[in-house]
Amino acid sequence: MALFDDIQAVLEHRPPRRLPVFCLSQEFDAKYAGLTYQEYIQSPETIVDAQLRAMTQFGWDCAWLHLDDTLEFEPLGVGVAAGGENVVPCTADYRDFDRATLRSLTVPDSRSARMPLLLDAATGLREAVGDDKCVTGRVAAPFSAVTLIFGMQESFYVLVDDPDLFSEALKFAEEQAVSWGLAQIEAGCHAIWLGDCNASLHLISPEHYEQWALEPCRRVTEAFQEAGGLVFLHNSEDRVEGLVLQAETKPDVLSMGPGVEIAETIQALRGRQPLMGNVDPIGMLTDGSASEVAAETDRQTRLMAGGGCILNSGECVPREARRENLHAMADTARRVWDVIGPRAG
């Protein structure tokens, strides 16, 4: 339970004995295991094997089971395109955003369509790692879920033209989000990555966030926490103002997007909200040098010395990221924490 003792310290805004180091490296992990992405998601066994290999080689404390954004929406009739061998499945056709369509939707059974792929991978990983790693599933928060079912452009039109219809859609999305997340916790996930990127302040105003996204996200968060799961909220936010708003949903840990300055965020939320982030997966882990990654990781790790933080990439790490850069991130964080962390005393 050493890892979860350290995570508990983070939740209590204390410096952990060993800094938890996460990485949203799933696409990279598939390549590292010698798999195309389509091969990676062929079975729970291939997912488990790839995640175990990456965690062993790089020392990550988290297995991030994102897989793709469409798993829980495909059973609703949302069209899914598999794409090429290294393309993550994505939405090809949204549902019509009208009352007749909304009334026809029912929350799918968690064993529908491809949903068992994630559930069985979670169970396999939990059996393999126990509590030595944080097995993390994922759920789309209600506001983003509406846009993933009906399309972003149409959703924003409806939000303005027919707010009652949008509100009804949010209620359905909230019910589905809770169902899908609870199924993952039951399958063995320690935590849920609650994604709400389409409710970040680069897409909606602070006023719209408070009116439409905040409370549904908070209720979903509470449901997962009551079931014993941790909640990591990620809006890929690039404004401190947005992170301060998102903290009102009370996640266990709030993830910073790569575009926000971590020092400013820590200062704004110190003692109020545990944070994770935010090494840039493109500018640093893919396009940077190992020495640049080491320098940025060193800087971020030292900023976390006061406690309440987990080191992580700020977004998904692509297949093209450099192995030496991911090693530099993990190794530097460990080396620096050995010097500045509680064990150094």
DSSP 164-229: HHHHHHHHHHHHHHHHHHHHHHHHT-SEEEEE-GGGSTTTS-HHHIIIIIHHHHHHHHHHHHHTT-
Q: For 270-322, where are the alpha helices, taking DSSP H only?
A: 290-303
pLDDT of residue 92: 86
Based on the structure, what is the number of domains in the chain? 1
Non-local CB neighbours of 100 within 8 Å, separated by 6+ positions: none
pLDDT of residue 87: 83
| 184 φ, ψ (degrees, to nearest 5) | -70, -40
Please report, in tens digits, the pLDDT of each residue of the chain (345 residues total): 599 999 999 999 999 999 999 999 999 999 999 999 999 999 999 999 999 999 999 999 999 999 999 999 999 999 998 877 888 898 889 999 999 999 999 999 999 999 999 999 999 999 999 999 999 999 999 999 999 999 999 999 999 999 999 999 999 999 999 999 999 999 999 999 999 999 999 999 999 999 999 999 999 999 999 999 999 999 999 999 999 999 999 999 999 999 999 999 999 999 999 999 999 999 999 999 999 999 999 999 999 999 999 999 999 999 999 999 999 999 999 999 999 998 755
pTM assigned to the model: 0.97
Handedness of CA 310, 18, 124, 223 (dihedral sign): negative
Cα separation, 50 vs 27, in Å, equals 10
Residue 271 in any domain: the answer is no
Buried b (16+ CB within 10 A) or exposed e, 206-238: eebbeebbbebbbebbebbeeeebbbbbbbbbb
Under a CB-based contact definition with an 8 Å cutoff, are residues 18 and 341 in contact?
Answer: yes
The CATH number linked to 98 is 3.20.20.210
Residue 16 in any domain: the answer is no
| 105 φ, ψ (degrees, to nearest 5) | -85, 140
pLDDT of residue 84: 76
pLDDT of residue 83: 72
Residue 241 in any domain: the answer is no
Residue 225 in any domain: the answer is yes
pLDDT of residue 345: 52
Residue 270 in any domain: the answer is no
> Where in the sequence is the domain holding 38, given as residue range(s)?
25-235
Residue 167 in any domain: the answer is yes
Q: Exposed, middle or buried: residue 54 (CB in 10 Å: 0-12, 13-18, 19+)?
A: buried
Residue 185 in any domain: the answer is yes
Residue 312 in any domain: the answer is no
